[in-house]
Amino acid sequence: MPYTQRHLLGLEGLSRDELTHLVDTAAEFKEISERDIKKVPTLRGKTVLSVFYENSTRTRVSFEIAAKRMSADFVSLSASASSANKGETLLDTARNLDAMKPDAIILRHPSSGAAHFLAQRVECPIINAGDGSHEHPTQGLLDLLTIRERKGDIAGLTVTIVGDVLHSRVARSNLFALRTLGARVRLVGPATLLPREFSSWAEITNDLNEGVRDADVIMMLRIQLERQGKNFFPTTDEYSRYFGLNEEAVAKAKPDVIILHPGPINRGVEISSAVADGPYSVIMNQVTNGIAVRMAVLYLLANRTREEPISVVSSEPQLRRRVG
């Protein structure tokens, strides 16, 4: 089944076929970025709005390049969530933008569920570019593409995700998608940043060496330096000693292990320079693939007429069952 949903809110709940279709489409678009003239007319006349309530250079630029390579008009708006609280609500902002008839809105927001919230209330397709600690689906997809390029089939791989899993939307998108595609997922991190509830979906361990043993893929998460001083860990030095990925730890993984990181990296904290720049690192491939994934997502979502029926995310079946 191809991906026919109106929005892209998260990878949880997507079928194997939908995920595969998204990644396949991205793989096809990769070639455009290799050309001398990196532009196709596919989205000519379409307007793509990017609304970022959080600072992000890389994701925003990646979307912008993707949109421009597809010949879409790209309009970027940075908003501050804190000033928005005092003035216009997210809903009002979105309704106003929706009234300008864009063909897709890309939303980055610090609150989990913000993209779902808008998807239930506006006409235009919503692309979640990161909602709080919840999901970052295009990052998940570019990770899938990167893994697939190196490893072929994702089913059967052991993928170890290391770091601040609690606050990581990258971890969640990957966890859910990798499981759907048949990978075995291990999560590694300090007990303060790795709630044991994750064991419903993955193996969890607080020991990096154990977690990376025989892994096919190691995915490092950025440790947010702001967490220091909030008692999630004492210091970044100590964090690095226990959870920083160095060559010694990499040696425990499979010889052909690949290492991913969503960036921006803290060199010498969660990943040593030797590893980040080493032969197993595919970090730059991820960045390249990010463009292709975002081109694919824009192609699939923004390239539709507005008359198609809206798939409404239902929030209440649970309740009806309980009460009825």
List residues near another protein by CB under 8 A: 12, 85, 89-91, 109-114, 116-117, 120, 131-135, 166, 169, 172, 195, 197-198, 200, 313-316, 318-320, 322-324
Task: Output 43 or 118, the one with its CB closest to another protein.
Answer: 118
In eight-state DSSP terms, residue 221 is P
Beta sheet of 258-260, edge-to-edge order: 203-205, 184-188, 158-162, 217-220, 258-260
Question: Which residues share a beta bridge with 321?
Answer: none
The CA-to-CA distance between both ends of the chain, in Å, stands at 33
Q: How far apart are CA 17 and CA 180, in angstroms?
A: 10
Q: Are 114 and 108 in contact (CB under 8 A)?
A: no
Q: How far apart are CA 116 and CA 9, in angstroms?
A: 6
Task: Output 33 or 201, the one with its CB closest to another protein.
Answer: 201
In eight-state DSSP terms, residue 192 is G
Task: Output 170 or 253, the one with its CB closest to another protein.
Answer: 170
The CA-atom distances, in angstroms, between 82 and each of 79, 86, 88, 110, 271 are: 9, 7, 11, 10, 32
Q: How far apart are CA 222 and CA 287, in angstroms?
A: 15
Quote the least distance from Cβ 168 to another protein, whole Å.
9
Task: Output 34 or 230, the one with its CB closest to another protein.
Answer: 230
- Write the DSSP string, 252-273: TS-TT-EEE--S---BTTTB-H
Judge if the upstream peptide bond of residue 264 is cis by omega within 30 degrees of 0: yes
Catalytic residue annotation: 58-59, 86, 108, 136
Task: Output 135 or 216, the one with its CB closest to another protein.
Answer: 135
Question: Which residues share a beta bridge with 49?
Answer: 75, 105
Quote the least distance from Cβ 236 to another protein, whole Å.
21
